[in-house]
Amino acid sequence: MAEAQHDNITACAEIVLKGDPARFRAAMAAPLALREKLFVLFAFNVEVARAPWVTAEAMIAEMRLQWWHDALGEIAAGGAVRRHEVVTPLADILSPEQALGLQSLVEARRWDIYPDVFEDEAALWTHLGNTTGALMRACLGLVGVQSTPELDDGLAAVGLAGWLTAVPALIGQNRHPLPDGSEAAIARLAGEGLARLLPARRAPLPKLARRALLAGWQTAPLLKLAAKEPARVANGTLELAPFRVHMRLARLALTNRW
């Protein structure tokens, strides 16, 4: 049993390394016990996030997301859970309430299937809160900490930073990632993200909870860059220099900040 559990965690780590290297690096900065749980949770996120993109058939994409929604339902019910290299260890780390909370993440990913337009920025913020926000609330749950409205705003801002880096790819897939793609609107949106992030980062949290949120380590500099040079969002150059990336992660981990 222990060997099978180790194999599943190793498989999850490989999924994260290949599909989400930034979060892989953040997980590696966590203590071992938390690191393994983060690998499982982040692997779940990778699998759900790519489910709508592996097929051009909307019905098949819906079925793939429903599979994950149902798997979380099984975990929440507390009975038998389907055997799977991600679902099996996920059942070991989630409470029923946490599993139900992650169903909102799966439901929100249905946006990726269709070329829907966000009605306004409030709708975009809701989407970010239900995707990255839900994931990071689950990270807090791994260490027994519940989020707050102030933290929720900051976690949605983490989602915004990643979202802005993905804008060109989403547009290339005939999606409409921003309600207003003008440079002025992007700069304003990034500024709002910073206004949401900074109070959340100052909120008092246990050391282990801050390690659980370390996946947001690039958020502040990315949002500052987008606010200052919004044209980078459309042209796909919203990114940090590799040396700066590694130094920032090391500094935040050393000072127990996120």
- Successive 10-residue mean pLDDT values, the chain, 258 residues: 85 98 96 97 98 95 98 96 97 96 97 96 98 98 97 98 98 97 98 97 96 96 98 97 89 93
Domain boundary at 58, 82, 112, which?
A: 112
In this structure, the chain runs to a length of: 258
Which pLDDT value is given to residue 4? Answer: 84
Q: How many other CB atoms are there within 10 angstroms of residue 4's CB atom?
A: 12
Q: Is 105 found in the same domain as 1?
A: yes
| Model confidence, pTM | 0.96
Q: Is 158 exposed, middle or buried (0-12, 13-18, 19+ CB in 10 A)?
A: buried
- Provide the 8-state DSSP code for 230: T
Q: By the 8 A CB rule, do 52 and 64 touch?
A: yes
Q: How many other CB atoms are there within 10 angstroms of residue 20's CB atom?
A: 20
Q: Is 198 found in the same domain as 144?
A: yes
φ/ψ of 142, rounded to 5, equals -65, -25
Which pLDDT value is given to residue 244? Answer: 86
Which pLDDT value is given to residue 19? Answer: 98
- How far from the centroid of its chain's Cα atoms is residue 204's Cα? 22
Q: Is 132 found in the same domain as 237?
A: yes
Q: Which residues of 222-235 are buried (b: 16+ CB within 10 A; e: fewer)?
A: bbebbbebbebbbe
Tally of structural domains, the chain: 2
Domain boundary at 66, 86, 112, which?
A: 112
Which pLDDT value is given to residue 3? Answer: 77
* Best CA proximity match to 101, nearest among 177, 155, 52, 64: 155
Q: Is 183 found in the same domain as 88?
A: no
First CA to last CA across the chain, in angstroms?
35
The partner residues of 176 in beta bridges, in order of sequence, read: 117
- Provide the 8-state DSSP code for 180: -
Q: Is 205 found in the same domain as 136?
A: yes
Tokens matching residue 76: 């929440």
- How far from the centroid of its chain's Cα atoms is residue 13's Cα? 16
Q: By the 8 A CB rule, do 15 and 86 touch?
A: yes
Tokens matching residue 38: 């983060």
Q: Is 191 found in the same domain as 64?
A: no
Domain boundary at 112, 146, 172, which?
A: 112
Q: Is 147 found in the same domain as 229?
A: yes
Which pLDDT value is given to residue 242? Answer: 87
Which pLDDT value is given to residue 221? Answer: 97
Q: By the 8 A CB rule, do 65 and 124 touch?
A: no
Which residues constitute the domain of residue 36? 1-112
